[in-house]
Structure 1
Amino acid sequence: MRKTKEDTQKTRQDILQAAVENFSKKGFFNTSLNDIAKTAGVTRGAVYWHFENKAEIFNALHADLHEPFIRHILADLETDSDHPVLQLRDLMIQLLQNLAEDPNKQQVMRLFLNCDYSGVLAPFKERHKASKRESLALFEAYFKRAQDKGKLDAQADPEILTLTFHCFLKGLLTEYINSDIIDLKSHTKPLINQLFQGLKTIHMQP
């Protein structure tokens, strides 16, 4: 029987999920395509039909994590909020709480937070840095829009605010993924509110 588009997509997702499980248990370099195929319940040929090699699977996992995130932000930016900084605050609370409910996404994020990009993964380092720069540019758009609306001090530097926000999120996610200090379900809202309260005290207009 000929496979449908849905069947093909499901096979691809099964392969990616199998890769996450194996990379998480064994590490990227100790995982073989045979391991991934066996876990996914497909042939090695099926893996090659979707992906050229193991590194391409790794890159696909990054795309599947990053691209929906970007689409979510772009959709949010289409809303003309009266207070863009608070709009960003609410978006981050929503995204982090969604992450707390998605164990698979947590596994994928752990892979990238702890990745050293050595060996065959080295060529992807710049690609993934470019994705990060894309995210930062979108975050900065909220702060620039807030200045345009008079909701953010004209002397505030949107780039510095964006980097501050990014470093805060990176630290929060690193602690959440690699330790038991942070519980996103209970800590997300008060932590994000604390950060934005600091921004409000220093830079934000009523």
Structure 2
Amino acid sequence: MVRKTKEEAEKTRKDIIESARQVFHQHGVSRSTCEKIAKAAGVTRGAVYWHFQDKAEIFLAMRADVFAPMVERTDAILFSDSFANPLDAIEASLKEFFRVLEDSSIVREVFEIMISRCEYVDEFASIQDEVGRPAFVFLEKIERMYRRAGDGGHLRPGLDPLATARDTWAFTSGLLHLMLGCQKGSELDQQIPAMITAHMALRRKG
């Protein structure tokens, strides 16, 4: 009986998160309320507040549900021992990131919510740093790999690992914004792997 109750509670929590994603995506975060989320999930407002303190906590839970498996997936490639050249690992990891965005409507919706459907003001002003933290973690990881590439003689001479990582960071962010601004299945989606290959080619030792 206790196990069933825990399973039911976990299902309710997941239903609330999934409904919140749909409500956030449809109405925008600022126009979404816990009442709307409760209605979409088919639960009471009390049930929402039993699982989450406020809308911001639901937002962070929604993001974590998508980010955790995606980071695990791309990190497994980035730090894989199967790549002798760290630049190959960076290229493969970036391609996997955008492949997931292309293949998963849920992942794409969450990124669209964070980038274009959320105003980080009022109650959300306090979580802006938390939302932006993964980008800085990404920068640190990429810099680490560029330093390995430099140490291994794979990086083009004259390139500073930190500056090169920042360039890849900006490139990835720009590509992400462009992709989310285009309709799914657009020509840009098909060109992204080649664009990543071209970007990485400029960093390789000739």
Moved more, 29-38 or 179-188: 179-188
Do the aligned partners of residues 77 and 195 (structure 1) sit closer, same or farther apart at CA in structure 2, a change above 3 Å counting? closer
Partner of 2:9: 8
Supply the distance in 2 between the matched residues of 1:180 and 1:146 (Cα, whole angstroms).
Answer: 36
CA contact (8 A) 1:100 1:184 kept: no
The aligned counterpart of 1:121 is 124
1:18-56 Cα offsets, whole Å, 9 max, x none, are 111111111212212121111112222221222111111
C-alpha deviations, 1:94-144, integer Å up to 9, x for none?
Answer: 221121111111111001112331111000011223332112111112111
Comparing 1-10 with 161-170, greater Cα deviation is found at 1-10
Match of 1:43 in 2: 44
Conserved? CA contact 2:78–2:90, under 8 Å: no
Provide the aligned C-alpha RMSD in A: 2.2
Matched to 1:57, the amino acid is: I
Q: Distance in 2 between matches of 1:166 and 1:6?
A: 40
Quote the Cα distance in structure 2 between the aligned partners of 1:149 and 1:37.
54
Question: What is the match of residue 189 of structure 1?
Answer: 193
**Aligned pair in 2 of structure 1 residues 72, 141: CA closer, same or farther (>3 Å)?**
farther
1:90 aligns with 92
| 2:148 equivalent to 1:145 | yes
Q: Is the 8 A contact 1:97 1:188 kept in 2?
A: no
How far did 1:79 drift? 2.1
- SS of the residue corresponding to residue 123 of structure 1 reads helix
- TM-score, structure 1 length as denominator? 0.87
**Bigger mean CA deviation after superposition, 68-77 or 78-87:** 68-77
TM-score (norm 2): 0.87
Amino acid at match of 2:43: V
Query: What is the CA distance between 1:154 and its match in structure 2?
Result: 5.2
Kindly tell me the number of residue pairs found equivalent between the two proteins. Answer: 202
**Counterpart of 2:25?**
24
**Partner Cα separation in structure 2 for residue 162 and residue 59 of structure 1:** 27
Asked whether the equivalents of residues 85 and 149 of structure 2 are also in contact (C-alpha less than 8 Å), the reply is yes
Q: Take 1:170 and 1:183, find their aligned partners in 2: how far apart are those partners?
A: 18
Question: Structure 1 stretch 123-132 or stretch 67-76: which is displaced more?
Answer: 67-76
State the shift of 1:15 in Å: 0.9
Contact in 1 for aligned 2:19/2:41 (Cα 8 Å): yes
Paired residue type of 2:130: R
Give the aligned partner of residue 60 of structure 1.
61
State the secondary structure of the residue aligned to 2:159: coil
**Structure 2 residues not aligned, in runs of 5+:** none
Q: Is residue 87–residue 145 contact of structure 2 (8 Å, CA) maintained in 1?
A: yes
Instruction: Give the structure 1 partner of residue 180 of structure 2.
Output: 177
Equivalent position SS for 2:12: helix
